[in-house]
Structure 1
Amino acid sequence: MLQSVKESHRLLRAWQLALLRFAVTMDESDRLNLVALAAELDRSGDQRDGGDSLHFFRRTSSQLCAAISGQRQDADAILDCFCKQIEEPRLRLAFAAAIGQAHSDPAPSQAARPKRNPDLFRGLPARRSASL
């Protein structure tokens, strides 16, 4: 069970990277590689669920490829939604750059920094300058 979860995670990561590669190159061979990975992910999902009617990754790959190629009117919305779903920050930033999307998320170091309290050091004696 744990091995199949790791394998699914590895395939999902490979699918995301293949999508990034297609976004950069727009090459037909990269699109075909993406479709093959999507079919593999759908096939592994069918084995777990017992049904053969789910084609999520193939359908999503088709929509994303069409959006990247500019063949859809709602391309910006599709690509923005997908970009927000990518959990790995470096991959999300790379994908956003590849599709030409301005990324406005603050840097993690700025987001984690607490606001400075101006009264934090009130009442403490001033520091003396050290002479060497």
Structure 2
Amino acid sequence: MAILRFAVTLDNADRLAIMAIASEIDRLGPERDGKPDFGFFRRTSAEVCAAILQPNELTATLLHQYLARIDDGRLKRAFAGALEADQTKTSPVTEPFRRDSRLWRGLSLPGNP
């Protein structure tokens, strides 16, 4: 839910909340020299936040993989909608559509062998 909130607001306070939550979860794992030995949630959260802030082809793949891991249908649709709203729309093709008369050349018409 925190990542969804960040995807909607893009607020640094929401990003910091995500990182705090991820740190708490990672702290539940084993420790080495008084520091958490597990960093999966911090690393993954940082990657997802960065991908949300600066979308490109590479980060789109990461976000789609993250989206695929969400089990709840409503949360998945909400997150997908938030990501779609943040993506910059590419300009439509300005070249007009042309019919290519050569497309059917060489084919026989029905009834003509």
TM-score normalised per structure 2:
0.66
Residue 91 (structure 1) aligned with residue 75 (structure 2): yes
Question: In the aligned structure 2, how far is the partner of 1:72 from the partner of 1:39?
Answer: 27
Greater share of helix residues, 1 or 2? 1
Structure 2: give runs of 5+ residues left out of the alignment. 86-113
Match of residue 33 from structure 1? 17
Question: In the aligned structure 1, how far is the partner of 2:12 from the partner of 2:74?
Answer: 25
Question: In the aligned structure 1, how far is the partner of 2:76 from the partner of 2:30?
Answer: 27
Question: In the aligned structure 2, how far is the partner of 1:58 from the partner of 1:27?
Answer: 18
Q: Deviations over 1:2-36 (max 9, x none)?
A: xxxxxxxxxxxxxxx00000000000000000000
Match of residue 110 from structure 2? none
**RMSD of aligned Cα (Å):** 1.9
Match of residue 55 from structure 1? 39
**SS of residue paired to 1:78:** helix
Instruction: Tell me, yes or no, if the aligned pair for 1:42 and 1:57 is still in contact at 8 Å.
Output: yes
* Letter aligned with residue 59 of structure 1: R
1:36-115 to structure 2, matched below 5 A, reads 36-46=20-30, 52-70=36-54, 73-100=57-84
Q: With CA pairs under 8 Å and 6+ residues apart, which has the higher RCO, 1 or 2? A: 2
**SS of residue paired to 2:30:** helix
Identity %: 43
Q: How many residues align?
A: 82
Select between 27-36 and 73-82 the one with higher mean Cα deviation: 73-82
TM-score normalised per structure 1:
0.57
Q: Deviations over 1:13-70 (max 9, x none)?
A: xxxx0000000000000000000000011011337xxx83210000001100110001
Instruction: Tell me, yes or no, if the aligned pair for 2:29 and 2:37 is still in contact at 8 Å.
Output: no
